[in-house]
Amino acid sequence: MVEVSVNASRIKQSEIRIMSVECERVRGVNLAQGVCDTEVPEPVRRAAKAAVDAGLNQYTRLDGIPALRGAIANKLRDHNRLTVDPEAQLLVTSGATGGFFAACMAMLNPADEVILFEPCYGYHAHTLTAMNCKPVFVRLNAPDWKFIADDVERVITPRTKAIVVNSPANPSGKVMSRAELGWLAEIAVKHDLLVFTDEIYEYFLYDGHEHVSIATLPGMAERTITISGFSKTFSITGWRIGYAACPARWKTSIGYFHDLTYICAPAPFQHGAAAGLNELPKKFYEDLRLEYLHKRDLICSALTQAGLAPSIPQGAYYILADVAALPGSNSKEKAMHLLRETGVAAVPGNAFYHDDAGENLLRFCFAKRLTDLENACNRLQRLRAHATA
């Protein structure tokens, strides 16, 4: 019998997809999956439709259309304070995911060690495993997910090649401060490390937290691959448009591997994203932030009232809540209990840790239409009713 590869035999289905299927079965409210149910901005939709109608449906250059690369370079300059040459240093990718995958293919060797902050986004850890690299975890401590420079220094070995930064973070909502990023930059320079930074939630910031791109810190532009995209900001997770900005000497290799897997990002949607960047006013981003701030506060107070203490996210659109009070011996059982009792689906916390540190946590996504979120908040109160019955 022909067997799947050793790599494939290590793969297990994502808890997020499993919970989504379970949620569908009970017709519940799905706060498990990080898809945005909010409306796509009009210029983005219009330009994508116009591109389809105008016949712009074929492969593009492997690094994306010049109009989008130019618009991204302007955005990086104005919003991130990062100077990037759109010809030599920028690739449009098939989502941030395609950018990260191609960058890992281009930069990492088997057995390289790569530092990740935990709780971490599963795709980062699993991509590294798929490359036969070793993810090495640095724990962020609840409720505010702090770490110190020593925590990182301590895990560095001669095999350490890179650090993955994800700020604002999925699932913790942590926004790395300038000081924390400064420690990482110093460590990266001292040990000659590469930094992958996934900034997909850069516009989702609360309570005065600021987004800093680590590539702007001293010595970092030459060793950082800055990855982001439009899935979240423009609510187009299915369009697959992202980008990677990197030193010019790496672009050909990253572009090669992106070409090999995707050829290019979807052509008409590249036009849509370019229009969004060029046409949407500053107010769009501020309104987005305020909308998500409101949603964050709604779900946090519903979780608190239901006795599931949330750690208040500083950014992104997920909440990790302490569910020690729910019956069940692990986070999967607790998630299933919650789904049965309330019809609200969340992701078991063990999906975000390599050990058992997440067994008393559930992740709730609040990128939902307001009516669905209010429905979920009401349903969560059934837990309280049961507890007091």
The site for ligand PLP (CB under 6 A) is made up of 34, 95-97, 121, 166, 170, 198, 200, 229, 231, 237, 242
Closer of 20 and 166 to ligand PLP (Cβ): 166
- Distance in Å, CB of 317 to ligand PLP, minimum: 9
Distance CA 58, CA 55 (A): 8
- Distance in Å, CB of 238 to ligand PLP, minimum: 9
- Distance in Å, CB of 230 to ligand PLP, minimum: 7
Residue closest to ligand PLP, measured at CB: 95
**Coil, helix or strand for 165?**
strand
Closer of 174 and 379 to ligand PLP (Cβ): 174
Distance CA 31, CA 320 (A): 12
- Distance in Å, CB of 231 to ligand PLP, minimum: 3
Closer of 321 and 326 to ligand PLP (Cβ): 321
| Encoded tokens for 194 | 């590469």
Identify the helix (H) or strand (E) that includes residue 114.
strand 113-118
Q: Which residues contact 151 (CB under 8 A, 6 or more apart)?
A: 138, 139
- Distance in Å, CB of 316 to ligand PLP, minimum: 7
Closer of 96 and 245 to ligand PLP (Cβ): 96
- Distance in Å, CB of 324 to ligand PLP, minimum: 25
Closer of 35 and 298 to ligand PLP (Cβ): 35
Q: Which residues contact 359 (CB under 8 A, 6 or more apart)?
A: 330, 331, 349, 350
> In the block, which residue shows the tokens 């991130």?
80
Closer of 139 and 191 to ligand PLP (Cβ): 139
Cα 23 to Cα 33, 107, 258: the distances in Å are: 10, 39, 34
Q: Which residues contact 148 (CB under 8 A, 6 or more apart)?
A: 183
* 229, β-bridge pairs: 242
| Encoded tokens for 239 | 């369009």
- Distance in Å, CB of 33 to ligand PLP, minimum: 9
Neighbour tally for 260: CB within 10 Å: 11
Identify which of 274, 277, 262, 251 has the alpha carbon closest to the alpha carbon of residue 66.
Answer: 274
**Coil, helix or strand for 317?**
coil
- Distance in Å, CB of 332 to ligand PLP, minimum: 20
Closer of 231 and 314 to ligand PLP (Cβ): 231
Closer of 147 and 326 to ligand PLP (Cβ): 147
Distance CA 56, CA 268 (A): 6
